[in-house]
Each structure stands twice: as structure tokens, then as C-alpha cells.
């Protein structure tokens, strides 16, 4: 299913409205099939449609300077470890510009999840909200299920195992 070009033009016009400055533009909506872009991971690998095929996907937008993200990412790492060998892909998106700082952050906290700095194409496909952390859940059929702004409790994050 292709993204609806009319809906995207309307969303762009609304986002440019002086009454809605700062309002998030509309990307995919709940139930839409996600058009996965191909992005480059921090380790140099490509991540795109083949990595999402036949899996539930959790995408988390975060930053190295966000204390809420630090706690949230600890839960994401626990989920990653629990989901090993299951049909759940976890892709995180650092909204930082310095790859060395992101690598140091990952190493310091022992995080092993996939990370990209290519935020723009993923935000355009999933949600252009600038809230961090921002967790986006896509089911195994490739449909957007939920966009959750803000830090979550560990037990809420761990419930995403049921998607795999």
C-alpha cells in the first residue's frame, strides 16, 4: 500500500500553517502500512525493508543528553535481550549529530541495540513528532500500531514482547 499523496500534501500545508507552528506533521497513522526507508546504522550496515520483513518492529527516537531517554533505553535494552531469537526487531534513532558521542554513550551503558543517526527518513515514515523518547510500534504485518511519546515504565516496554 502506497502512502496517500493527498494526505501528505494536506499534512504539509497544515504543518506550515502559522496557527500550528510547532505542531507535528502527519506521517503514517495507526493502521497504515509503513513504507520503510533504508538507513545506515552506526556500525555501517544498512537497515531497511528486508530487516523489517515478517517481524514486529520497535523504533525508538532518543538523544544522548536526555535523562528520560537514558532510563527508557535501559528498558529497551532489557527488551532487546529478552526478544533474542524472536520476530521483534528493535531500531533506535539517536537525534545526535556526533557518531563518536553516540558510540561512547552506548559503550558506557552497555546498550547493544541497533542505532542510526538517519532520523529524517524514519521520522517522515513514522512520526515527525520531536518528543524524546518516542517509541513507535509496527506489527508483523507492517502496520503502524502505536506511537508513544515520553518515557515508559519497564513493564510497559516489556509488554511489546507479545508482538514477536
Q: pTM for the full model? A: 0.83
User: Look-up: residue for cell 549529530?
Assistant: 97
Give mean pLDDT in consecutive 10-residue pieces for the chain, a chain of 164 residues: 50 41 59 96 98 97 98 98 97 98 98 98 95 98 97 98 92
What's residue 25's pLDDT? 42
Cα separation of 158 and 46, whole Å?
26
Looking up cell 515527525 gives: 128
Burial class of 16 by CB neighbour count within 10 A (0 to 12, 13 to 18, 19+): exposed
Q: Which CATH number fits domain 5-11+27-163: 3.30.1060.10, 3.40.30.10, 1.20.1330.10, 3.30.460.80?
A: 3.40.30.10
For residue 10, the model assigns a pLDDT of 47
In this predicted structure, what is the pLDDT of residue 30? 87
* Predicted pLDDT at 27: 79
Residue extents of the structural domains in the chain: 5-11+27-163
Question: Alpha-carbon torsion 113, 119, 125, 130, what sign?
Answer: positive
Edge to edge, the sheet with strand 56-62 lists 114-116, 88-94, 56-62, 134-138, 144-149
Amino acid at each position: 500500500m502506497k502512502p496517500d499523496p493527498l494526505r501528505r500534501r494536506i499534512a504539509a500545508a497544515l504543518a506550515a500553517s502559522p496557527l500550528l507552528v510547532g505542531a507535528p506533521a502527519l506521517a503514517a497513522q495507526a493502521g497504515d502500512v509503513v513504507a520503510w526507508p533504508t538507513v545506515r546504522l552506526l556500525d555501517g550496515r544498512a537497515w531497511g525493508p528486508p530487516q523489517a520483513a515478517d517481524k514486529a518492529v520497535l523504533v525508538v527516537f532518543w538523544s544522548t543528553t536526555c535523562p528520560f531517554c537514558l532510563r527508557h533505553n535501559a528498558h529497551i535494552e532489557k527488551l532487546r535481550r529478552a526478544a533474542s531469537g524472536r520476530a521483534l526487531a528493535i531500531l533506535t534513532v539517536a537525534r545526535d549529530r556526533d557518531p563518536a558521542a553516540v558510540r561512547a554513550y552506548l559503550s558506557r551503558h552497555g546498550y547493544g541495540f541497533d542505532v542510526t543517526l538517519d532520523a529524517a527518513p524514519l521520522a517522515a515514515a513514522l512520526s515527525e513528532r520531536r518528543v524524546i523518547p518516542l517509541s513507535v510500534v509496527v506489527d508483523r504485518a507492517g502496520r503502524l500500531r502505536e506511537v508513544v511519546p515520553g518515557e515508559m515504565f519497564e513493564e510497559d516496554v516489556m509488554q511489546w514482547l507479545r508482538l514477536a
